[in-house]
Amino acid sequence: MNVLPVEIIKKKRNKVPLTDEEIQFFINQYTAGILADYQMASFLMAVFLNGMNEIETLALTKAMLYSGKTVHFDKLSKFKVDKHSTGGVGDKTSLILAPIVAAAGVPVPMISGRGLGHTGGTLDKLESIPGFSTDKSLNEFIELTEKFGLCFIGQTSEICPADKKIYALRDVTGTVESIPLICASILSKKLAEGIDGLVLDIKCGNGAFMKTLKEAQALGNALETVCHLFTKKVNITYSDMSQPLGRFAGNLHEVFEAMEILNNRKYLNSNGTDLYADTRNLSLYLASKMIQMGLNISFNEAQEVANEQLESGKASKVFNVICRAQGGYLDKLPLPSQKIIIPAREDGFLASYNTERIGIAGIRIRAGRQKYDDQIEHQNGIEFHFKIGDAIKAGEPLFSLHGNNLKTLEEGKDLLNSCYSISLQKVERPDLILN
Is 369 a catalytic site residue?
no
Is 170 a catalytic site residue?
yes
Helix (H) or strand (E) holding 238: strand 233-240
Selection from 61, 11, 308 nearest residue 182 by Cα: 61
Enumerate long-range contacts of 403-408, CB under 8 Å, 24 or more apart: 403/336, 403/338, 403/365, 403/366, 403/367, 403/377, 403/379, 404/336, 404/337, 404/338, 404/377, 404/379, 404/380, 405/338, 405/377, 406/338, 406/340, 408/365, 408/366, 408/377, 408/380
Is 163 a catalytic site residue?
yes
- Distances in Å between the Cα of 281 and the Cα atoms of 13, 92, 120, 261, 327 are 44, 12, 19, 10, 29
CATH class entry, domain 81-154+193-331: alpha beta
How high is the pLDDT of residue 116? 67
List 118, 189, 247, 364, catalytic entry: 189
Q: Looking at this protein, which amino acid is placed at residue 57?
A: T
Give the number of other Cβ atoms within 10 Å of residue 266's Cβ: 12
Rounded to two decimals, what is the model's pTM?
A: 0.93
Is 189 a catalytic site residue?
yes
Which of the listed CATH numbers 3.40.50.620, 3.90.1170.30, 3.80.10.10, 2.40.40.20 matches domain 335-423?
Answer: 3.90.1170.30
The answer to whether 395 and 347 are in contact (CB under 8 A) is no
Is 400 a catalytic site residue?
no
List 42, 94, 112, 185, catalytic entry: 185
Please report, for the chain, the start and end positions of each structural domain, with discontinuous segments joined by +: 5-51, 81-154+193-331, 335-423
Give the number of other Cβ atoms within 10 Å of residue 5's Cβ: 19
How high is the pLDDT of residue 117? 66
List 170, 203, 357, 378, catalytic entry: 170
Give the number of other Cβ atoms within 10 Å of residue 37's Cβ: 14
Indicate whether 30 pLDDT > 80: yes
How high is the pLDDT of residue 372? 67
Q: Is residue 155 very low, low, confident or very high in pLDDT (cuts 50, 70, 90)?
A: confident
d(CA 34, CA 236) in angstroms, rounded, equals 37
Q: What single DSSP character describes residue 384?
A: E
Backbone angles phi, psi at 216, to 5 degrees: -65, -40
Backbone angles phi, psi at 383, to 5 degrees: -105, 135
Q: What is the pLDDT of residues 376-433, one digit of tens each?
A: 899 999 999 999 999 999 999 999 999 999 999 999 999 999 999 999 999 999 999 9
Residue 338's contacts (CB-CB under 8 Å, 6 or more residues apart) are 402, 403, 404, 405, 406, 409
Give the number of other Cβ atoms within 10 Å of residue 146's Cβ: 16
The answer to whether 90 and 249 are in contact (CB under 8 A) is yes
List 12, 62, 80, 84, catalytic entry: 84
Mean pLDDT of the chain: 94
Selection from 284, 278, 282, 283 nearest residue 266 by Cα: 278
How high is the pLDDT of residue 321? 98
CATH class entry, domain 5-51: mainly alpha
Q: What is the pLDDT of residues 235-277, one digit of tens each?
A: 999 999 999 999 999 999 999 999 999 999 999 999 999 999 9
